[in-house]
Structure 1
Amino acid sequence: MRHPPRGARGTARSAVSRRTLLGISLLPALAAACGASEDLDALPKSGESSGQIVYTTWGTPQQREVENWTLLAFEKNYPDLKVNVIASATAAEHVAKQISMLSSGAPPDVVRLPTWSAFTFYNEDVVKRLDPYFKRDAFKTDHLAQPFDTGTFQRRWYGLPRGHAGTWVVFYNRRLLEGAGLKPPATGWTWDDFLKAAQQLTRASGSTGASGSGAAQWGTALEPIADFYYPWLWGHGAEDLERSFERSLLDQPAAREALQWLADLRHKHKVAPPAGELPEGPAAFASGRVGLWFGPADAELDLAKQAGLDFGIAPQPKGKQTQQAAFKPDAVCLASGAQYPDDGWELMQFLVDVDTQRLEFDNGLWLPQAKAIVGQETYQKPAVPPYDRRPGIPGALIKARTPVMAPRGDEIRAVSLRELAPLWRGTKNVEAATEAAAKSVNAILTGQA
């Protein structure tokens, strides 16, 4: 039996959002993401007929093709249900489209949300609380990656982690390390170990290093670290944001020290190339010119396609205070406006099922998160790169957590990256950059921006 949506709830919401989701400035700024010629009225609508589920997601054409296989498997297992997919190319376009659909009164049934945006949707109650479904159906979380920070808000469940459940790790080029006389990093390696290895791996242009060319060889790359600096802050005893969402902590001494250490990799120690010298993303590591590359464990799936690239992965290095890895799974949620939420809930459960995770891993979409898979020796110790996946499994070797997630988190992240960019370029000192970042973040937290 399919049930109509429950009535509105009267719980107190976070003060960080003084404007409703449908009124935030993100909508006009990203309205073009839906395409000037796109007609929202022409998109599938939830509740038009029983058994029709509208699911919204994003990704490259290759990723969408793989996910479509998953949805076809769902329809095969549930022949009375059909999934209509609304897809976007990027996460930013996807979020803008969700806001447009909500503002037009045509929400999807099931929505996949990027981590940084999810908490705005949770805070505004535009996605359903899942706790009643958990209780009714005795839903277990054994096949989800802990901690469950990305799916919970104010101690309530709003989403199920789906995709990108591996931690950020340090990929190392085994051939470059051997050429420099270095051993693979140990589990308990430190920031000092990271720096020393990067220094030994760095070769000036014109010299022939283990990369086999006269091009410069670099110990590491700064861009991926600058894009996801959170575990480096934690290692130094710092945070970027108070858990109460009251203020930014980027301008505090511990955070400044950690960020300065990272900037020094390029400007003082010269072990990271200038901006623009290497390709973006995993392609920088695949070029064979970077010895140590910081990135999400899921990058393994792309790097494994590179012929002749022999690599391993190491955990987040230990800082002055601690050694803690970071991860940020996306979330799949049930829209509050879903006409047939039970059908949507069936899809959500299928999307995080152990067999679905195994299927999507085999098809190269995402690394799995279920203990039944990641706890197996055959998964942890493959015979091909990276040879040992444990550094990328949350909690397998070191503790893992997500960054502090807040409503309007995508805006907070955007202004933080914008204001810190001059630090990485070397055009602002750490005091000026972090002061500007904290000021911009605080304006969002207090509702002044």
Structure 2
Amino acid sequence: MSGLSYDSKLYALPYDVGPWMVFYNRDKFAAAGLKEPAKDWTFDDFKAAAKTLTKDGTYGYGTQAFDFIAGPIALGAEYFNADNEFDLTNAGFVDAFSKYADLTAKDKLSPVFASASDASAASGRFASGNVAMYIDGPWTLITAQANVKFKIGIAPLPRGSGPSRFITAGSGWGISAASQHKDAAFKAIQVLTGPKAAEILGSAGRALPARLAQQTYWYDGAAKNVSGTRDTLQYMFAHTTPFRINEKWNQFENLVMQYVPVALTGDSAPKAVLTDIQSQLP
């Protein structure tokens, strides 16, 4: 409900929900002699695993554009100030952003995404076995299982020195202010977001329902072959924060895809990249 609200006003009724989390190749973890991630694993734990898994033509981690938003939040950073305006150059966000950029630029634990068209390519690399870990959401779990030939594991995003904290997002249904059929639209939304629809969608693996009572259909369906999914997601929901955006969000996201690659290649320092992005968000 919070994620679909703005300025204390609810704009849509929730349909599905989910936090960004780490998908990992359980077979590669086992072959490398690594313990599977703990729910409260740290960034140092994550980095150490990625180092161990980077060998024989495989990267330990596959970076994507949204990692530089969800990842820093999990480390305790903030990209907004108290007025819900972008504040990308605060010390906490620069430090957290730099940790993720350095995994590629300095440690060579991830391939570089070179452009916007390549910014979400890690899922394909993961499916082919070229990267051992990447970040995505529960909405992709059923597709991921169908495309791989190994056992998938999921884990929370690594935390910083403080407690775990994760961005949870979701989609929903609203009614246009210009609609000429608001009453009929609301009746339709009651069906689309109702318990029966949530049961059907959850059972099919299409969506992790926003309705708590119907989430069990997803856990018992799409996630039944992925060990620990229910416990992991319930842990993440217990340490969650709504996905915050503002009216400049689309511009910001496009700038991230445009500028982050130069931090990944080492051509520009992470702070300089964030300063460039910030300067274009007046």
TM-score when scaled to structure 2?
0.89
8 Å CA contact 1:243–1:404 kept in 2: the answer is no
Distance 1:302 1:380, change over 3 A: closer
User: Is the partner of 1:319 in helix, strand or coil?
Assistant: coil
User: Is the partner of 2:76 in helix, strand or coil?
Assistant: coil
Is residue 271 of structure 1 aligned with residue 271 of structure 2? Answer: no
Aligned to 2:20: 168
Aligned to 2:134: 293
Aligned to 1:159: 12
Aligned to 1:244: 83
Is residue 384 of structure 1 aligned with residue 225 of structure 2? Answer: yes
Aligned to 2:151: 310
Question: What code does the residue aligned with 1:162 have?
Answer: Y
8 Å CA contact 1:162–1:330 kept in 2: the answer is yes
Aligned to 2:174: 333
Distance 1:236 1:272, change over 3 A: same
Question: What code does the residue aligned with 1:289 have?
Answer: N
Q: Share of identical aligned residues, percent?
A: 22
Point out where structure 1 has 5 or more consecutive residues left out of the alignment: 1-147, 205-215, 444-449
Within 2, Cα distance between the matches of 1:282 and 1:301? Answer: 13
Aligned to 1:234: 73
Within 1, Cα distance between the matches of 2:69 and 2:169? Answer: 11
Q: Give, in angstroms, the shift of residue 370 of structure 1.
A: 1.7
Within 2, Cα distance between the matches of 1:229 and 1:391? Answer: 22
Question: What code does the residue aligned with 1:302 have?
Answer: T
8 Å CA contact 2:142–2:222 kept in 1: the answer is no
Within 1, Cα distance between the matches of 2:152 and 2:66? Answer: 22
Within 1, Cα distance between the matches of 2:119 and 2:32? Answer: 21
8 Å CA contact 2:86–2:278 kept in 1: the answer is yes
Which of these residues, 247, 262, 268, is aligned with residue 422 of structure 1?
262
Is residue 433 of structure 1 aligned with residue 269 of structure 2? Answer: no
Within 1, Cα distance between the matches of 2:94 and 2:219? Answer: 42
8 Å CA contact 2:103–2:110 kept in 1: the answer is yes
Matches for 1:30-45 after TM superposition, within 5 Å? none
Distance 1:228 1:373, change over 3 A: same
Deviations 1:423-446 (A, max 9, x none): 1232211221111111112x1xxx
User: Is the partner of 2:60 in helix, strand or coil?
Assistant: strand
Q: Give, in angstroms, the shift of residue 158 of structure 1.
A: 1.4
8 Å CA contact 1:170–1:293 kept in 2: the answer is yes
8 Å CA contact 1:301–1:366 kept in 2: the answer is no
User: Is the partner of 2:33 in helix, strand or coil?
Assistant: coil
Q: Give, in angstroms, the shift of residue 258 of structure 1.
A: 0.9
Is residue 323 of structure 1 aligned with residue 164 of structure 2? Answer: yes
8 Å CA contact 2:3–2:243 kept in 1: the answer is no
User: Is the partner of 2:49 in helix, strand or coil?
Assistant: helix
Q: Give, in angstroms, the shift of residue 364 of structure 1.
A: 3.6
Aligned to 2:213: 372
Matches for 1:11-50 after TM superposition, within 5 Å? none
Within 2, Cα distance between the matches of 1:436 and 1:278? Answer: 19
Aligned to 1:283: 124
Aligned to 1:403: 243
Distance 1:377 1:421, change over 3 A: closer
Within 2, Cα distance between the matches of 1:338 and 1:296? Answer: 32
Distance 1:374 1:384, change over 3 A: same
Aligned residue pairs total 279
Higher relative contact order (CA 8 A, sep 6+): 2
Is residue 219 of structure 1 aligned with residue 71 of structure 2? Answer: no
Within 2, Cα distance between the matches of 1:353 and 1:347? Answer: 10
Aligned to 1:413: 253
Distance 1:260 1:307, change over 3 A: closer
Question: What code does the residue aligned with 2:106 have?
Answer: K
Within 2, Cα distance between the matches of 1:219 and 1:290? Answer: 6
Matches for 1:252-271 after TM superposition, within 5 Å? 252-271=90-109
State the Cα RMSD in Å.
Answer: 2.6
User: Is the partner of 1:234 in helix, strand or coil?
Assistant: helix
Question: What code does the residue aligned with 1:184 have?
Answer: E
Within 2, Cα distance between the matches of 1:269 and 1:315? Answer: 22
Question: What code does the residue aligned with 1:259 have?
Answer: F
Within 1, Cα distance between the matches of 2:143 and 2:205? Answer: 8
TM-score when scaled to structure 1?
0.57
User: Is the partner of 1:428 in helix, strand or coil?
Assistant: coil
Is residue 183 of structure 1 aligned with residue 35 of structure 2? Answer: yes
Question: What code does the residue aligned with 1:152 have?
Answer: S
Q: Comparing 350-359 with 360-369, which one deviates more in the overlay? A: 360-369
8 Å CA contact 2:154–2:229 kept in 1: the answer is yes
Within 2, Cα distance between the matches of 1:278 and 1:242? Answer: 26
8 Å CA contact 2:202–2:209 kept in 1: the answer is yes
Within 1, Cα distance between the matches of 2:4 and 2:119? Answer: 35
Question: What code does the residue aligned with 1:182 have?
Answer: L
User: Is the partner of 2:280 in helix, strand or coil?
Assistant: helix
8 Å CA contact 2:43–2:158 kept in 1: the answer is yes
8 Å CA contact 1:169–1:314 kept in 2: the answer is yes
Within 1, Cα distance between the matches of 2:269 and 2:27? Answer: 36
Question: What code does the residue aligned with 2:47 have?
Answer: L
Distance 1:412 1:306, change over 3 A: closer
Within 1, Cα distance between the matches of 2:262 and 2:271? Answer: 11
